[in-house]
């Protein structure tokens, strides 16, 4: 049933069009006296489980079914208005306490027979319990039984934790990116040897420095001659 870490889906029990509960011609549902939810105008008579959980109610006249979901929601599905189904109108495939998965077949209704008896087949899907700290987001338009969601239940506390976690991850990600950017923009410091070699090459490339270099070489040579002569005279004595 879960979509992610803060919401869960109530899947379409029948194929048809999702409408607001106010469209149900019964004030108990239209005015949400039993709980919030949506309604479906069905296209065919096959009904499926909208959730993972257990069957909690099978009405004796087969017009209503209840489910307790794995995460504690109480779901009621009511088909028809002021209707009491006869055996030739409905075949039920579950009983109370049966374990069901979303998409399991629950019942089959004879829509032609319902129409003949002038029974409005609109179905109310109500969440009667377990909504504390939660809100619902109803779907709209056409849905396919067993796959499309008729409403999503949002756990507000879990949503707040999720959003805080996402914010922390974004902040950490931005900080890491800024660190990488700073490191890549920082100029690479040359070693002393590399720096000296680079300076020497730049000195030699400038021809204006050549007389200085030659003069220095001559002076160094003269100095070496003086030193050798002095050493020779010292040894001779």
Q: Among the options 63, 78, 93, 142, which is catalytic?
A: 78
Query: What phi and psi, each to the nearest 5 degrees, are found at residue 113?
Result: -70, -40
Query: What phi and psi, each to the nearest 5 degrees, are found at residue 17?
Result: -105, 130
Residue among 98, 95, 71, 86 at smallest CA distance from 7? 71
**Separation CA 103–CA 52 (nearest Å):** 9
The yes-or-no answer on residue 237 being catalytic is no
Token pair, residue 213, equals 């270099």
Residue among 36, 133, 46 at smallest CA distance from 76? 36
Q: Which residues are catalytic?
A: 78
């Amino acid at each position: 049933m879960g979509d992610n870490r803060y919401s869960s889906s109530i899947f379409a029990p029948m194929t048809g069009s999702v409408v607001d509960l106010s469209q149900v011609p019964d004030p108990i549902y239209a005015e949400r006296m039993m709980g919030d939810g949506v309604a479906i105008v069905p296209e065919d008579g096959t009904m499926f489980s909208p959730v993972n959980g257990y069957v909690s109610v099978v009405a004796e006249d087969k017009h209503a079914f209840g489910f307790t979901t794995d995460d504690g929601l109480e779901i009621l599905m009511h088909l028809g208005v002021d209707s009491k189904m006869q055996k030739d109108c409905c075949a039920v495939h579950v009983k109370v306490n049966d374990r069901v998965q979303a998409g399991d077949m629950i019942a089959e209704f004879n829509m032609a027979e319902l129409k003949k008896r002038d029974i409005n087949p609109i179905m109310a899907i109500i969440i009667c319990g377990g909504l504390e700290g939660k809100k619902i987001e109803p779907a709209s338009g056409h849905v396919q039984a067993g796959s499309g969601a008729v409403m999503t239940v949002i756990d507000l506390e879990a949503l707040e934790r999720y959003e805080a976690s996402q914010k922390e991850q974004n902040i950490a990600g931005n900080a890491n990116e800024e660190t990488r950017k700073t490191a890549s923009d920082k100029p690479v410091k040359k070693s002393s040897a590399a720096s000296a070699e680079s300076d020497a090459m730049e000195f030699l490339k400038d021809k204006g420095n050549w007389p200085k270099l030659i003069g220095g070489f001559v002076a160094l040579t003269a100095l070496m001659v003086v030193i050798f002569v002095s050493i020779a005279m010292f040894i001779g004595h």
